[in-house]
Structures are given as C-alpha cells and as structure tokens.
Amino acid sequence: MLISQRLLGVSLLLFGTGLAAAALAGEEPFPWRKDPGPIAGRWSVTCEEMAGMVVEFGVNGKKATGRVSRLGKAGVFGYSAGEEVLRLEADDHGDWVGQLHWRGVGSKERWEPIRLVATPTQLDATMTPDNCYKKMPRAN
C-alpha cells in the first residue's frame, strides 16, 4: 500500500511538472481557443425605434466598452451621447460576452446579458432579447 501511494504521488508530481513546463514555455493548452472578434470601431443599431444610434467600441486587451457616439432616436429612451451602454469581455470562443444597459419607455432600465459575434463587417448579438443589436453594420 505504501509503495502504491508513493507511485501515485510521484506520478502526480511528474504530471504537474509537465503542465507547469508547458505553461512556462508559452504553449496554448487549448488549441480550440480563438482570438476575440474585431469589435473596435463604430456600429449602427438595426431597429427602427432607435434608428440612427451608433455605438463606438474601445478595446483594452480582452475587455471592450461600447458608448453612444451618435444618439439618433435613442434619446427618446433617455440615452445620451457618450453614455456607456455595453460592458464586454472576450471569451475563449472569440465572442464578446457581457452586459447591455437597456432602457425602455417610462424610465425603466436594467443591465441585460448579451453575447456578440464580431466579424470585420458585422456585429451580431446572438444572445439578447433586444433586436437593436442584431446584425449591426459598421458605421461611417
């Protein structure tokens, strides 16, 4: 029994040492990980009730913040230019996941979960109850 415990201990030590060496060598432990999609820049919302609204994203590492850069019709809901409306972080699949500052009529507001997929030409909210952030094109 004592010998099998020692063998198990030595095996675990060698396995742990191998993982640590791989991490120090800079090897990616999960080859399926993707770089974050290209979210930086300006995107136009796609719903009629907030037509003309443009959200501009700034990126800092794996975090992104979206701010209203052009208000359009969104002022009706209480949004203002420069307001932060999206807080996101890149996940291992290259998507942007976080929160959307949602506002409705009658000054109802809350932070809603959202998942966005960014390509060079389109930003698409694949998980949100708000249609304004689906299939957004780049803005000029």
- One domain, residues 56 and 117: yes
Residue 25 in any domain: the answer is: yes
- Considering the entire predicted model, what is its pTM? 0.76
Residue closest to 50 by CA, chosen among 32, 30, 74, 17: 74
Same domain? For 54 and 114 the reply is yes
pLDDT tens figures, 84-121: 999 999 999 999 999 999 987 776 889 999 999 999 99
* Residue 36 in domain: no
63-70 sheet: strands from edge to edge: 41-44, 54-60, 63-70, 84-90, 96-103, 109-118, 122-127, 136-137
DSSP state string for 19-35:
HHHHHHTT--S-TT--P
Of the spans 16-20, 24-28, 43-47, which averages the highest pLDDT? Answer: 43-47
Phi (first) and psi of residue 103, to 5 degrees: -130, 140
Locate 103 and state its tokens: 């506002």
Task: Record the tokens describing residue 111, joined without a space.
Answer: 């932070």
Question: Are 67 and 3 contained in the same domain?
Answer: no
Residue span of the structural domain in which 15 resides: 1-31
State the total domains in the chain: 2
